[in-house]
Amino acid sequence: MSLTMSWMRRATAAPTAAAGAPAPNDGGRVQAALAALQAAVACLDTAILVVDRELRVVASNPAADRLWSLAEPAPGLPPRATGLARLPEARDAVQAMVAGDAAAAAGGWRRRLRTPDGRTLDVAIHRLPTGEGLVAARDVSESVRLETSRRDFVAALSHELRTPLTSIQGYAEMLQDAGLPGPLRAESLEVILQNTARLSRLAQDLVTLSSLETGAYPFRFERLEVATLARPALAVVAPLALEHGCELREETLEPATLRGDRDALHRVLLNLLENAILHGRPPAASGVTPSVTLSGRREGGDYVLRVRDNGPGIGSADQPRVFERFYQIGVGHTHIPGAPRRGTGLGLAVVKHIVREHGGEAGLQSALGEGSTFLVRLPLQEENHAAGRAGGAHDGSAA
């Protein structure tokens, strides 16, 4: 039932004795005003629901129909707010108000509630003069997620800064000792340089991520052959793989043409390959040689690049969050004990944003004990490539 239709009937039936007989066009003005109200309420994102004591729906707007999945139990019978009934706090509050509990009705009722399916709702309840309960609810799940993400980001950034700064401070204080032996002095300087470089990378990654999230990153799109992206990235990480005893392999790379930013996509592959080399390592006790493989092939209208490792894998609980800033996986996918952390915790977040800006998608396939495969799915641009050659288009055009 339309929310304002029920109010409209009440308004037009309201006595007008105090004002005398209405003018012939008064009814038309009332109808027009209520029609405008009906249109406004129908456009609200806030779910507006009017119910009686038995939680039978007296009126609702489209947002309430969607939020509470209202449906008539049988033809001719009013729908029931079963979704509201699943929230005991809200159900008890509205029933108390409709029953005439003055304490419950005073000032209304408002809470943030968690639904059984994991959503977060901001719910406000008031008693109407007609005796029914008005329930206004908004789905604030995304806002809560963003608030949590911001808090986690600040906490993680503080941690990432504290570790190298503490190390720099400690070794700098050691260098103040004039009697410090030469080897220890050289070691102290090396540690300071390593941690300074780490802070520099962190700052650069933060700037890059910020520019990606705000749309300020200076993309320059051009036609690219897959091989010109993949092989240079493999060459860059080859010394890192050798240092960590990791076999670096190139499997089938089907030829294809993409349209993208060369430097940005090169960074995507570097981040994924470095991540696999440093963190996707099998347990030392297993005796298995670490290996990382890069492959690519066409799949429908897309081209899919895969970076696969033979490490411990990533559990299902961690997988949805691996592309978040600074997210750390507790077991398995960790840095080598005793080795300096070379990453900033932002690499996969940068990957996600760059790939999205290319109209693609970054993903993960993994299971504990079975290694991990990071995927980059990008749209093929073969038709654009052919059209560009025919029309004399040139590469390097600004996005």
Contact indicator for 332, 318 with CB cutoff of 8 Å: no
Counting the structural domains of the chain, the total is: 3
Same structural domain for residues 172 and 190?
A: yes
Neighbouring CB atoms inside 10 A of 35's CB total 13
From 197, 217, 237, give the residue that closes a domain: 217
Q: How far apart are CA 255 and CA 362, in angstroms?
A: 20
Same structural domain for residues 134 and 154?
A: no
| CATH code: domain of residue 135 | 3.30.450.20
Same structural domain for residues 69 and 193?
A: no
The pLDDT score that the predictor gives to residue 376 is: 97
From 104, 139, 174, give the residue that closes a domain: 139
Mind giving me the DSSP string for 205-216? HHHHHHHHHHT-
Same structural domain for residues 89 and 227?
A: no
The pLDDT score that the predictor gives to residue 345 is: 73
Neighbouring CB atoms inside 10 A of 122's CB total 16
Contacts 24+ apart (CB under 8 A), 69-77: none
With 0.95 as the threshold, say if the pTM is over it. no
Same structural domain for residues 363 and 236?
A: yes
Tokens of residue 374, six digits:
């990071």
Contact indicator for 376, 351 with CB cutoff of 8 Å: yes
The pLDDT score that the predictor gives to residue 237 is: 94
Same structural domain for residues 223 and 285?
A: yes
Contact indicator for 49, 134 with CB cutoff of 8 Å: yes
Domain span at residue 176 reads: 143-217
The pLDDT score that the predictor gives to residue 330 is: 52
Same structural domain for residues 126 and 156?
A: no
Query: Which of these, 287, 293, 268, 285, lies nearest to 371 by C-alpha position?
Result: 293
Which residues in 237-263 are b (16+ Cβ under 10 Å) and which e? beebbeeeebebeeeebeebbbbbbbe
**For 98, which DSSP code?**
H
Same structural domain for residues 89 and 121?
A: yes
From 196, 217, 238, give the residue that closes a domain: 217
The pLDDT profile of the chain, 399 residues, written as one tens digit per residue, is: 444 444 433 433 444 444 455 555 676 787 777 778 777 777 788 888 898 888 788 888 888 888 877 766 666 666 777 788 788 898 888 888 888 777 666 778 999 999 888 889 999 999 888 888 899 999 999 888 888 877 877 777 787 788 889 999 999 999 998 888 999 999 999 999 989 988 888 888 888 888 988 888 999 999 999 999 999 999 999 999 999 999 999 998 999 999 999 999 999 999 999 999 988 888 887 888 999 999 999 999 999 999 999 999 998 888 888 898 877 665 334 333 334 344 567 889 999 999 999 999 999 999 998 999 999 999 997 554 443 333 333 343 333
85 φ, ψ (degrees, to nearest 5): -65, -20
The pLDDT score that the predictor gives to residue 130 is: 85
| CATH code: domain of residue 332 | 3.30.565.10
| CATH code: domain of residue 212 | 1.10.287.130
Same structural domain for residues 123 and 272?
A: no
Same structural domain for residues 162 and 95?
A: no
Tokens of residue 51, six digits:
């119910």
Same structural domain for residues 242 and 320?
A: yes
Same structural domain for residues 189 and 252?
A: no
Scanning 44-140, the segments in alpha helix (DSSP H) are 62-68, 82-85, 88-98, 102-105
